[in-house]
């Protein structure tokens, strides 16, 4: 009797333990959504030049940490400096010419006034018989010439001023190009994948190196059946294959409004042929919490296992 009772008690205890373990597993599965289809990513920053030139100096080496404003490379300044010297000299020359042209315009204005006065006096004299028609014709010609000379002087001043503006613009552009001779970092990260070398001629659009930013995040491709209760802001625990003894913290930053298959280069067309249902994956972007990775260990490409801690009572249809 006691032996059968003990067997029954042991069996009941075992079954109860299995039931409790099953309930715990179901509850844990409802609250914790995980996937192994996840990786670290970032937006690599391409180092380029804004102007063509020859690389004369390289200040950093591969995998060196850089920050915004750090000098990376420098181009040969000879061509830009030569153009600046010519543009400055031309600008000074044209600028000095403008006062002379203004003086010529003032003289032309005086000549026009005199020609107009002579013409008016000639008309009066012709009425009294003291000037001939030929005299009036000469005065008319002189008046037209005076008008032409004044118009020419004004046009020359306009051309000079336009030339000054054009030269100032060219000078400003080359002053900016002088600044572009020094190529600096725009972001914080690691300088890598350098293709530029000393003496190499480079042009705009050509990649000289790549900076991998410190700002990284996780892309987790979650099963569509597991995102029911997931929402932006849910806390995330991140395990990284490369650092099994470390646990990183994050939060759900966004949930892509399309599955990965839809965003593929050739999305599937299920309206034709045989259809086989497969569980779709929804990309979820996970941001690292501040100070979660102070040593910048989580570089793009690392495999990670994120676990999103969701609230089973949340339903997107009700928003709570």
The torsion region of residue 104 among left (phi > 0), alpha (psi -120 to 50) and beta comes to alpha
Terminal CA-CA length for the chain: 55
Kindly provide the residue ranges of all beta strands, DSSP E only, lying in 128-280, ordered along the sequence: 182-184, 189-192, 201-202, 209-213, 217-223, 235-240, 243-255
Q: Choose the weakest-confidence range: 24-33, 85-94, 189-198, 290-299.
A: 24-33
Pairing state of beta strands 45-47 and 64-66?
unpaired
The 10 Å Cβ neighbour count of residue 179 is: 12
pLDDT: which is higher, 62 or 139 = 62
pLDDT: which is higher, 126 or 28 = 126
pLDDT: which is higher, 22 or 250 = 250
Q: Which residues have a Cβ under 8 Å from the Cβ of 43 and sit 6 or more positions away?
A: 213
- Bridge partners of 306, per DSSP, are 238
The CATH homologous superfamily to which domain 32-43+213-309 belongs is: Efflux pump adaptor protein, beta barrel domain (2.40.30.170)
Residues 260 and 202 sit within 8 Å (Cβ to Cβ): no
**CATH class label, 78-179:** mainly alpha
pLDDT in tens, 44-56: 999 999 999 999 9
142 three-state secondary structure: helix
List the domain boundaries for the chain. 32-43+213-309, 45-77+182-212, 78-179
Which pLDDT does position 183 carry in this prediction?
96
pLDDT in tens, 60-110: 999 999 999 999 999 999 999 999 999 999 999 999 998 998 999 999 899
Query: Domain 45-77+182-212 maps to which CATH number in 2.40.50.100, 3.40.50.300, 3.40.710.10, 1.10.3210.10?
Result: 2.40.50.100
Rounded Cα distance, 113 and 66, in Å: 71
pLDDT: which is higher, 266 or 195 = 195
């Amino acid at each position: 009797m006691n032996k059968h009772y003990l067997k029954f008690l042991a069996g009941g205890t075992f079954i109860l333990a299995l039931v409790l373990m099953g309930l715990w597993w179901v509850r844990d599965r409802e609250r914790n959504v995980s996937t192994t289809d996840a990786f670290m990513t970032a937006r690599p920053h391409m180092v380029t030049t804004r102007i063509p030139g020859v690389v004369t100096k390289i200040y950093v080496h591969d995998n060196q940490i850089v920050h915004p404003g750090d000098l990376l490379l420098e181009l040969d300044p000879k061509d830009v400096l030569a153009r600046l010297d010519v543009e400055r000299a031309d600008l000074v020359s044209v600028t000095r010419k403008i006062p002379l042209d203004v003086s010529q315009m003032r003289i032309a204005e005086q000549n026009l006034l005199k020609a107009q006065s002579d013409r008016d006096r000639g008309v009066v004299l012709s009425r009294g018989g003291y000037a001939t028609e030929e005299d009036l014709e000469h005065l008319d010609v002189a008046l037209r010439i005076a008008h032409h000379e004044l118009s020419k002087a004004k046009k020359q001043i306009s051309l000079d001023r336009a030339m000054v503006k054009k030269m100032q613009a060219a000078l400003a552009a080359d002053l900016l190009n002088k600044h572009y001779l020094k190529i600096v970092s725009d972001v914080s990260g690691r300088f890598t994948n350098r293709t530029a070398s000393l003496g190499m001629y480079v042009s705009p659009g050509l990649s000289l190196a790549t900076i991998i930013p410190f700002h990284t995040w996780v892309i987790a491709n979650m099963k569509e059946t597991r995102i029911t209760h997931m929402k932006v802001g849910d806390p995330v625990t991140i395990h990284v294959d490369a650092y099994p003894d470390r646990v990183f913290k994050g939060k759900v930053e966004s949930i892509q409004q399309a599955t990965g298959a839809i965003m593929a280069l050739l999305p599937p067309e299920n309206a034709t042929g045989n259809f086989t249902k497969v569980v779709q994956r929804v990309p979820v972007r996970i941001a690292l919490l501040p100070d979660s990775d102070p040593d910048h260990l989580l570089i793009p490409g690392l495999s990670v296992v994120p676990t999103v801690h969701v609230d089973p009572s949340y339903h997107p249809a009700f928003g709570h």
